[in-house]
Chain A
Amino acid sequence: MPTNSNNIELASQTIDEENRRLFMKKMVALFGATTASAVLSGCSVSATKQLATQTVSASKNGELLSEQQMTVLYSICETILPRTDTPSAVEVGCHKFVPHQLQHCHSQQQQNDCIQVINAIDRLAEETFSKTFPLLQPQQQQQILLQIENNQSATSIPKEHFKFLKALIVFGYFTSEAGATQALNFQTVPGGFVGSIPADANTKSWGSRAYY
C-alpha cells in the first residue's frame, strides 16, 4: 500500500514531541488525563515501580491488565494492524477486546502468557531505545515486534506466545463490524452458492463466515 508506507515514512520523520502529543491524545481518550500524564512522565525505572503499584490496584479491580500494560497493548494493536484504507485495530477496539476475551474465553495460562509478552515488549523497548513502547516511533515499534516474532531479541519470551497474542488481535479485528464488513467482503445473505467466480489481486476475502 503506497499510501501507507508514505505514512510510515512521514511518521518516522516526526519529532518526539509530536509523537508524545498524539499519544497523549489517545491515552486521554482511553484513561482520562491524570493517568495519561502519569504514564507519559514515566520513562524511568522509578516510574516503572510506580506503575507496578498500579498493577496491583488494577488487579484488585478485577482487571487483567494494568494501565501501563493497556497502553503497551494499545500500541501493539496499532502496530500490528495500523490504519490503511480501512480502520486500525485500535479504531475497532481490539485493545479493549483482547483483555476482555482473555478473561472470558481463555485459560489462566494464556492470560499470563499474554501479560508476559506485553511486559517483554515494553522491556525490550526500554532496553533498545530507553523509552516505553508506546512512546517509540512507529518504525521502532515495528522493529521491536519483528525482533520478538523472529526470535531475534534477548527476551526469553517464546515466539508462540507473541503469535498467540497477535492472532487474538487479528481475531478481534476481523470479528468486529468494521473488520468483517469493510476490511473484508461481507455477505449476510449470499442468496446461493456459486462454485467458481473470477478472482484477481484485488479480490477481498469473505468476511462472513459460518463459524469463527
Chain B
Amino acid sequence: MTTDLYIHESDHVYDAIVVGSGISGGWAAKEFCERGMQTLMIERGRVVEHRKDYVTEGKGPWEFANRTKVDNLLVEEKYSVQKKCYAFSDMTKHFFGNDKDLPYSTKEGTGFDWIRANQLGGKSLLWHRQSYRLSDFDFSANKADGHGNDWPIRYKDIESWYSHVEKFAGISGSQENLEQLPNSEFLPPFEMTAPELHVRDKIAEHFPDRQLIMGRTAHLTEPTQLHIEQGRVTCQARNECQKGCSFGAYFSTQSSTLPAAAKTGNLSIAPNSVVHSLIFDEKTQRVKGVRVVDNDNLSTREYFAKVVFLCASTLGSAQIMLNTKTKTFPNGIANSSGVLGHYLMDHNYNAGATGTVEGFDDVYFSGRRPSGLLVPNFQYKPSLYKKGYVRGYGLAGGSHRDSWPGLRYQNGIGADFKTKLTKPGKWKLGLHAQGEMLPRFDNYMALHPTKTDKWGIPLIHIDCTWSENEKLMMADAEQTAFDMLTKAGLKDIQSYNSIEENNPGLAIHEVGTARMGRDPKESVLNGFNQCHDVANLFVTDGSSFCSTAVQNPSLTFMALTARAVDYCVNEMKARRI
C-alpha cells in the first residue's frame, strides 16, 4: 500500500462510498474498484497495515508481562465487554474496540455483548474464519414455518457469487454433497485426528441423519495462483490468527481484498472517519454522501459519492441509518417500514458436551489446526424439527490431548507431578451447539433518547433476549450432544447448558437490523441489498439477514456484497441509479 491511498479532506464526488472495511467493506471496495469505479472506503478507526502492524505476531507468552492475560485495571477501564470474547487477550487487545470510548446501553435486566473491532480491516482480522454456504432450506425457513419474513432470494440467486468469493478468499473443506450444506469451491480440508476419525465413523453408524465433517475455513491449505498473486502463502498451522498473519494464510481485508482493490488504482481510504449520518437530498430522494466526525480531533467533514454502501456492521450500519433523520424519513433513512433496528439476532452457542476418547494413547497430532469439526444441522426443515421448538443447530467440535492447563488441577506435588504435566494426557473430544435464533420484532436496537458518544452520535440502545424457542433448543442440544458422545463410546462425558448465563451477542454473529424482503412495508432492503426507499443506498453486511440459519455468516456477507456491487454497477450503467 502507498501513502497516497489515504485521504483526509476531499470534495471529489466518488462513484461509490463504502462505509466500513471489514469483510463486507473489503469485498465491496474490491468489486467496485475492479469494475473501474472510483471508490472511497471510510473507516472509523486507525490504519492497520498488513504485516507491519501485527505487533504481537510470533511472540511467545513469556514476552507478555501478564503472560497473555490482560491487566485488571485495563479490562475494567476499557474492555469490560470485549473481555468476554474467546479471542481477547494481551496478544490481541489492540484489535478490539474500546468499551469506554464506544459505550452502548441495554434495557434494564437484559444484556447484549457487542464485540467491536474498529480499525482498518475490522473484524476480518479477528474472525473465526469458519465459512459455510446457506442452503435453500435456510433461505426458505421463514416461509416454511412462519417465523420472520421470507428471504427475497434463493440459493440459485447467490450460488455463483459464493463460488466467486470462495475462489478468491480460499476456503478449505471437504466435498460432502449435503443438501442442507452445499459444497463450496474447496481447497483441501485440514486433517482429522485419529480419535476424530473414529468418532466420525461411530456417529455415522449410530446416527444415519448426521455427519461429522471437517470444518470449512478461510485458510490456504494449498494456495492457487489467485492467492499467490495476492501475496499469500500456505497456512503454517499456528492458530494465532487473531494476532494477524504475515503469511496472509487466512482471509482478511488486509491479506486479500484490500491489496486487490488498491492494485486497481481506483481506491482511496479515509481512516479515522466516524460516519455520523448520511447526506440525503430531499429533491432527488437519493443520498449524496456522508457526514463524518474525525475520530481523533472531532472535527467534521463530508464525503460525496453517487452510491453509498453501508458495511459498517449489523449494529453500526443501522445506527447510521437511524441517525439520518430527514423530512421524508423522520424515523431514520429508508425506514418507511418501521422495521429498521428490529429483528436483531445472534447465534446461540450455549450447550454442548465433552468426553474422553480411549484407546489412542499411541497417537498425537502436530501443529495447531486453525479449524475444527462440524456436525451440520440435521433439523433443517419442518419435517425434521423436534417436538417443542422450531429450527435446529449445528454442532461444532474438535479434539485435543489433555495437557498442563487441564492437568494442573490434579493432585500431585513434586517431580512426578511435574513430569506428568509435560506429557500428553487423555484425548478429549467435544461437540458444541451453534443454534439458530428466531427473528422477532421485539429484539431490537434503537438510538438512545438522550445519551450520545464522544462523537456526538446517539448511543445504541439494545433490547434483545433469548426466547423460549432458543431455551428449549439448548436444553435439547445439551442432551443430544451427550447422547451422541455416549453412543460414540466416549467416557466421562460432561455436558453443559449456559443459556441462562450468557447474553446474546457473544457468538459475534449479530444480524438482521435492516432486513431484506420483497415487501417494502415489512423490510428495509430488496433482494439486492438495495434500500426499497432510497435507490442509491445499499446495506450488505449482516443487517440484511432475514434469519440466522445455523451457519457462520461471513461467507454469505461476502457473496451478498459482491452480488450487490455487480447489480449496483449494472444499474448505474443503465442509468437507473
Residues of A within 8 A of B (CB): 1, 4-5, 8, 79-82, 84, 86, 97, 100-101, 104-107, 142, 145-146, 149-150, 163, 166-167, 170-172, 174-177, 180-181, 183-184, 186-201, 203-206, 208-212
Contacts and interface: CB of A to CB of B under 8 A. Distances in A.
B69 A105 contact: yes
Interface in B192-234: 192-194, 196-197, 234
Nearest to A204: B422
Contacts of B405: 171, 209, 212
Given A188-B238, A193-B369, 17 more contacts: A5-B415, A80-B418, A101-B67, A104-B65, A106-B72, A175-B62, A175-B67, A186-B60, A192-B236, A192-B237, A194-B366, A195-B365, A204-B423, A205-B401, A205-B424, A208-B60, A212-B89
Interface string B417-434: 111011110000000000
13 contacts: A1-B415, A82-B414, A100-B65, A105-B66, A149-B413, A189-B236, A189-B238, A190-B238, A191-B236, A197-B365, A201-B423, A205-B423, A209-B405
B481 to A, nearest CB: 22
A166 B222 CA distance: 44
A197 B89 contact: no
Interface string B497-536: 0000000000000000000000000000000000000000
Given A105-B66, A183-B422, A212-B61, A199 B364 contact: yes
Given A175-B62, A176-B62, A193 B362 contact: no
Nearest to B413: A145
B284 interface: no
A166 B422 CA distance: 16
B61 A187 contact: no
Interface of B: 58, 60-62, 65-73, 86-87, 89, 190-194, 196-197, 234-240, 361-370, 401, 403-405, 408-409, 411, 413-419, 421-424
Contacts of B364: 196-199, 203
B413 A197 contact: no
**Among the interface residues B61, B368, B421, which one has the most CB atoms of the partner chain A within 10 A?**
B61
Contacts of A5: 415
A131 B62 CA distance: 35
A189 B238 CA distance: 6
Nearest to B365: A195
A196 B193 contact: yes
B403 A211 contact: no
Contact of A205 (B72, B369, B422): B422
Q: Which 6 A-B pairs have the closest CB atoms?
A: A195-B191, A190-B367, A193-B367, A210-B239, A170-B408, A175-B61
A194 B86 CA distance: 25
Nearest to A146: B413
Contact of B86 (A86, A201, A211, A212): A211
B415 A4 contact: yes
A148 B60 CA distance: 34
A70 B401 CA distance: 35
A183 B127 CA distance: 32
A84 B62 CA distance: 21
**Among the interface residues B65, B192, B362, B366, which one has the most CB atoms of the partner chain A within 10 A?**
B366
Nearest to B371: A193
Contact of A184 (B197, B368, B408, B422): B422
Contacts, number: 178
B216 to A, nearest CB: 15
Contacts of B87: 211
B238 A195 contact: no
A142 B417 CA distance: 12
Contact of B71 (A104, A186, A188): A104
A160 B417 CA distance: 17
A89 B73 CA distance: 27
Given A84-B419, A204-B423, A212-B89, A190 B237 contact: yes
B422 A192 contact: no
A100 B66 CA distance: 8
Contact of A190 (B192, B363, B366, B421): B366
B418 A84 contact: yes
A80 B236 contact: no
**Among the interface residues A166, A197, A210, which one has the most CB atoms of the partner chain B within 10 A?**
A210
**Among the interface residues A105, A180, A184, A198, which one has the most CB atoms of the partner chain B within 10 A?**
A105
Given A170-B404, A192-B236, A197-B365, A80 B413 contact: yes
A176 B236 CA distance: 23
A191 B237 CA distance: 6
A188 B414 CA distance: 29
B418 A197 contact: no
B96 to A, nearest CB: 15
Contacts of A201: 423
A172 B404 CA distance: 11
Contacts of A208: 60, 368
A190 B369 CA distance: 10
Contact of A209 (B197, B368, B369): B368
B415 A199 contact: no
Contacts of B196: 195
A1 B366 contact: no
B237 to A, nearest CB: 4
A28 B405 CA distance: 33
Contact of A167 (B409, B414, B418, B419): B409
Contacts of B419: 1, 84
A101 B194 contact: no
B131 to A, nearest CB: 17
A168 to B, nearest CB: 9
